[in-house]
Structure 1
């Protein structure tokens, strides 16, 4: 009898000797993976989730206790295609404003992004290495950033922001233009130049490499249907990334360019709204990720010229078909927003979650914007800037979570008003908002 009593005490000992961290009690827990929830308690210490239990967790006196009042707890949101710098600035700012001004705007927007519930973003191109460091060191607040560094583009491609009077020069040869100097985009033509550009981004801390493999909406010089970069140029970037233990993501819309990128070894197709069925089948067969954005309804980017807006409408029209085909073939889907060059539109980041109900159940959406997106980010391998488990609520995972006023599995619209409905926001075990 005495021995049994001692064993019971030993079993309870970890619960009684915590003495640190945060205990969130009485919450409905969605783990990011399963449609089933549990009502229980969660203990966070040393930036990780230490224990989850449906039973009371007996904490020490030094533990901060937060009563969840039966609210909905879930992993922090992940945007797999965000531009932390470009979303905060207009194209005119990018081309003409002093870099210190545009970086301050990016820092301000990073704080707003976190308060929208996004604890992690994959930056799809732009000068964010300093921003990431400032956030990681606690100088400013913001989400975790998986940086790509400067967008790599061919001459006249989607990342060519040079003025018409800027003469093309070999990469790193004869003086860089403004957008190249600030690390927004690099123009690299040929295998050698692409190799140097990719390796330089890795040198600066990129977790993955981003290239422009096709035309774009906001481009100055190309058409939406353009195929960009030869296969050997794309493969050069893939080889550089592979050697560094990571992968390449490419901006692309049309089938021919997507097929070329896959043939070169690219692992993440960004956008893809003009895809055809054989190419979607190829994506599924090769196990390549398709990182799409629900460009329908309000909350999209708005463009200043009729030509750009017309290209955007083609993308919108193709969105329905692309998602339908992706579901048909069971493609690995990621979710992102790609809002850029309109600081006032960045606030619509969460609206793009609700749009997904056109094709997916609430559970499928929640899993995609947490667990699935985290799986894509993990492709960065040893270049992962945040080793650990993201996108889930489980013991041992990094403590990124939000508490929502409303069950998002039943009504996903609660995520579209973060100021009102997100009652608690935690990243890396630290509370950034608490209205409980």
Structure 2
């Protein structure tokens, strides 16, 4: 792989420290040195005038929902087209500066390994495989009168499997073990209703504490964790009591529940970009107009939840939750968060903090000797103009594990 020295960039290292002018040396896929290095042979990359950040991390993606959603789950789109859409979305994530993503439901293990083998372009992917849902709960997209037992017929082995339905703790245990067999590296459960749902409300809770604890037990047996889709406080508290380590969305999070999360070391991943997208045009994602009604007010409540979590000292990551086609502007999540906090806080959430949440602390998300050489060079300074995060063309150079995977210089 050789040696690469990136010189002349202003470096924001992902820790929140002020950016500095420093050269970065990369060898065999890892960062080996910050600062001027000697005259050893190797490629020299002039990055004068550019801003360097760690490769971005999106902690909430759905690569397997890259086609229009309702047509995808009514057999109107071929497996070949679904695969093409998944891999196009993976490549677009890389081009937007995201070198690592956590897929929170929809792909099967074959997608992870195909990208890892370099057969298609894409970020490093950690996946929960299919989401674990209760019968009739969030995550079920069958037709109204489609029997639940037919739902698994929508799975495409090795490619996509959105969710698995459980009627009780024993069924959940079996489904969780099946998810791990298919390559899951962590688990996700839906413990409340959802915005993009047909059969529940945001105020509904799903799964009991005892049922969630079964998944936590199975995850712990494999050295990993459970994250949960949760909008309301009762569902969040059920999950925290059962031992979940992360909460997705957290729309109605209140102060006592945030304090409980902080005490137990449970992280939060808010998701603003999907809310913006669904308010703007639900049809673009292949969804009906009723979704717009369900999402009204969510942005304001999630904004309040972010402030509540921050005040309580909860570790807060960043996730876009984009669904359907047109997932190319994934960095919009950073632009939205920068407006609610600061651009630096948004960057740290998308790098160092997300790496901690994913269990990759020190390996990715920071520019420091020993870390993976995942780097993005931006044309301009996104810490001064955070809208640059939303524009994939602003990420003029993307380096993944020491290899240049995008170069618009």
Q: Which of 33, 46, 49 is the aligned partner of 1:51? A: 33
- Map 1:202-221; keep pairs closer than 5 Å: 202-221=180-199
Cα deviation 1:368-397 (Å, max 9, x = unaligned): 11110000000xxxxx7xx97010001110
The TM-score with structure 2 as length reference comes to 0.92
Q: Shift of residue 30 of structure 1?
A: 1.3
Check 1:185–1:315 CA distance in 2 against 1; reply closer, same or farther (3 A cut): same
Secondary structure at the aligned position of 1:332 is classed as coil
- Map 1:307-318; keep pairs closer than 5 Å: 307-318=290-301
- Map 1:153-192; keep pairs closer than 5 Å: 153-169=133-149, 176-179=152-155, 182-192=160-170
CA contact (8 A) 1:89 1:106 kept: no
Check 1:373–1:83 CA distance in 2 against 1; reply closer, same or farther (3 A cut): same
1:435 aligns with 2:408: yes
1:16 aligns with none
Q: Shift of residue 56 of structure 1?
A: 4.6
- Structure 2 gaps of 5+ residues are none
1:349 aligns with 2:323: no
1:94 aligns with 2:73: yes
Secondary structure at the aligned position of 1:72 is classed as strand
2:356 aligns with 375
Q: Shift of residue 34 of structure 1?
A: 3.4
The TM-score with structure 1 as length reference comes to 0.87
Q: Shift of residue 132 of structure 1?
A: 1.4
2:7 aligns with 25
Q: For the residues of structure 1 that align with 2:224 and 2:140, how far apart are their CA atoms?
A: 25
Q: For the residues of structure 2 that align with 1:168 and 1:42, how far apart are their CA atoms?
A: 54
Check 1:365–1:168 CA distance in 2 against 1; reply closer, same or farther (3 A cut): closer
**Which region of structure 1 is more displaced relative to structure 2, 321-330 or 234-243?**
321-330
Q: For the residues of structure 1 that align with 2:269 and 2:43, how far apart are their CA atoms?
A: 39
**Which region of structure 1 is more displaced relative to structure 2, 346-355 or 329-338?**
346-355
Cα deviation 1:211-239 (Å, max 9, x = unaligned): 11110111121112110011111110010
Secondary structure at the aligned position of 2:353 is classed as helix
Q: Which of 113, 120, 140 is the aligned partner of 2:93? A: 113
Q: For the residues of structure 2 that align with 1:408 and 1:178, how far apart are their CA atoms?
A: 41
Q: Shift of residue 38 of structure 1?
A: 2.3
Provide the aligned C-alpha RMSD in A. 2.1
**Rg larger for:** 1
- Structure 1 gaps of 5+ residues are 1-18, 379-383
- Map 1:257-406; keep pairs closer than 5 Å: 257-294=235-272, 298-300=276-278, 302-303=281-282, 304-341=287-324, 343-344=325-326, 346-378=327-359, 389-406=363-380
CA contact (8 A) 1:350 1:415 kept: yes
Secondary structure at the aligned position of 1:335 is classed as coil
Q: For the residues of structure 2 that align with 1:40 and 1:57, how far apart are their CA atoms?
A: 14
